[in-house]
Amino acid sequence: MRTIIICIVALLFSGPAAAAHHYTVHVDAALDTLRVTARFASPVQSVRARHGSAGRFLLEAADCETGLPLERRGRTLTSPQTSISCIDYVVDLRGAAAAERRNEGLDPDNVVVSPAVWLWQPRTAAESRVIVRFLLGDGVDVSVPWQTVGDIEHTYEIPPSPRSARAPAAFGRFIHVHQEPSAGMPRIALLRSPGNVDDDAIIDWILDTVGYVSLAYGRFPNPGAHVVVMPVGKNGWRSDSPVPFGRVVRDGGESIELFIDKRRPIEDFYDDWTATHEFSHLMLPFLQSSHRWISEGFAQYYQNVLLARAGRYEVQRAWQKLYEGFERGRKSRPELSANEASRRGVGAATMKIYWSGAIVALMADVELRERSGGRESLDDVLDRLQRCCLPAADRWTGPQLFGKLDSLVEEPVFMPLYQQYADKEGFPDIAPLFRRLGVDIEDGRVALHDDAELASVRDAITRSASDAGARAFIDRSRAQQAKRSEP
């Protein structure tokens, strides 16, 4: 077996026809440095790093054929020779980690540093394949959002992807849950931090949340995703939430960063919606920022619906939360349309952005269910979207997404809603739809009535998972807990 692996590695790293840039990254056991050798698919004029601070952490860099040092200007490296086929360089990993605030709360034997700081690439990298192989010091593990290459240990290809921020990469001794990609579950890296914590419970909570999101259409939207869970230090985010901050990062694949307050009891995590919200984002492609009300809104809608289906929220509570959210959206910046509110630089419009999209998601879901007599729902359409188009390699516009969704159903639903609401100031009137769904509001409290015209549609939206496939998925994700690797 070992011989075969070595042969494949040799093929990957010296194969004559492979039009790829090949990186070998040595990570030392102390996590002090990354020693990198990069061989390019063809000679290049220069290489650069994406992060402005990368030059500060570059300890040395040389042309590996001539041995001559490379010249650095800012974050660009050039050779005194005209072109470069191969470079050796050393990055101060420890220094780069110290410059990233997220490492403050972590044990020093694990760090998170973005490839934007340590991966020096030719400008042509976007057109060529980039393959990165890690050679790890004793006890060191690595977790990156990239695709694994065959069975070759710690070897990845950077997939084409839009860029929303800088991807995280974890190095060191952390808890790493990963299985065959066919298992359909994302990889999880739980970073270690000082103090007592029940790591098993945190991993179970993540796996359960993966299961909740699978209740939309029976599987996780991107099994190749990378979940990085980082405990915050005591001077960390000022927040009452057990998950003070979470986000999806699209950059060479999809990462979900979750910052957690480990001082909180595990029940608080189960009562928090952040992870469900972030995972729900993976059901849509990355949208350009002026249409982010759609991505935020769909995630907002689904976090409530899915937590009800999973039994974490009482059904009444889910509708209460939707009602209160719509009210906050209605009161937020009524002079703006959803598209205007989403534009960069427009402040104080968060509620407008999130809940404008959520109400459109609800309207689309109800229309699909009503007109099909319950045979079709938003879940089904997003299932088809995942099969055809996700994870997407590029950034989409709102109309592009809604046009695509309409192409997946018999009669358009989405573009008509976009045309009606996207550029209209104010907020859609929820009252008529709530009345038909049997969602009555009395003194700000939601009361559900089963004699309403669309009460069965309302029930179906939050029905607890009877879908055997999804339940099995949750059970399987829990079973993975037994297979995790530990430092």
The minimum distance between CB 270 and Zn ion, in angstroms, equals: 19
Distance CA 364, CA 415 (A): 10
The minimum distance between CB 277 and Zn ion, in angstroms, equals: 5
CB closer to Zn ion out of 192 and 291: 291
β-partners of residue 126 are none
Distance CA 237, CA 261 (A): 9
Give residue 365's identity as a one-letter amino acid code: D
CB closer to Zn ion out of 61 and 305: 305
CB closer to Zn ion out of 120 and 259: 259
Could you give the C-alpha distances from 304 to 137, 291, 479, in angstroms and in order? Answer: 44, 21, 26
The minimum distance between CB 386 and Zn ion, in angstroms, equals: 18
Distance CA 459, CA 47 (A): 56
Size of the site for Zn ion (CB under 5 A): 2
Site string for Zn ion, 277-296 (x = CB under 5 A): -------------------x
Which distant-in-sequence residues (6+ apart) come within 8 Å of 378 by Cβ? 361, 364, 365, 368
Residues in the chain, overall count = 487
The minimum distance between CB 50 and Zn ion, in angstroms, equals: 23
Please report, as residue ranges, which positions from 437 to 456 form the binding site for Zn ion (by CB under 5 A): none
The minimum distance between CB 296 and Zn ion, in angstroms, equals: 5
Distance CA 380, CA 394 (A): 23
CB closer to Zn ion out of 245 and 270: 245
**What are 186's two structure tokens?**
């994302």
CB closer to Zn ion out of 149 and 287: 287
The minimum distance between CB 295 and Zn ion, in angstroms, equals: 7
Q: Which stretch binds Zn ion (CB under 5 A): 298-306, 337-345, 380-388, 424-432?
A: 298-306
CB closer to Zn ion out of 206 and 299: 299
Please report, as residue ranges, which positions from 346 to 375 form the binding site for Zn ion (by CB under 5 A): none
CB closer to Zn ion out of 141 and 296: 296
Site string for Zn ion, 299-318 (x = CB under 5 A): x-------------------
**What is the number of helices (H) and of strands (E) in the chain?**
16, 21
DSSP for 290-349?
GGHHHHHHHHHHHHHHHHHHTTSS-HHHHHHHHHHHHHHHHHS-TTS-HHHHHSTT--S-
CB closer to Zn ion out of 228 and 299: 299
Distance CA 357, CA 362 (A): 9
The minimum distance between CB 74 and Zn ion, in angstroms, equals: 33
CB closer to Zn ion out of 85 and 350: 350
Please report, as residue ranges, which positions from 386 to 425 form the binding site for Zn ion (by CB under 5 A): none
Strands (E), 81-202: 84-92, 110-112, 121-122, 129-136, 141-143, 147-148, 155-157, 170-172, 175-177, 187-190
Please report, as residue ranges, which positions from 237 to 276 form the binding site for Zn ion (by CB under 5 A): none
Asked if residues 267 and 293 have their Cβ atoms less than 8 Å apart, the reply is: no
The minimum distance between CB 235 and Zn ion, in angstroms, equals: 25
Distance CA 389, CA 283 (A): 10
The minimum distance between CB 84 and Zn ion, in angstroms, equals: 41
CB closer to Zn ion out of 202 and 299: 299
The minimum distance between CB 368 and Zn ion, in angstroms, equals: 23
Q: Which stretch binds Zn ion (CB under 5 A): 52-60, 297-305, 442-450, 469-477?
A: 297-305
Distance CA 308, CA 253 (A): 29
| CB burial string 141-150: b at 16+ within 10 A, e below | bbbbbbebbe
Binding site for Zn ion (CB under 5 A): 296, 299
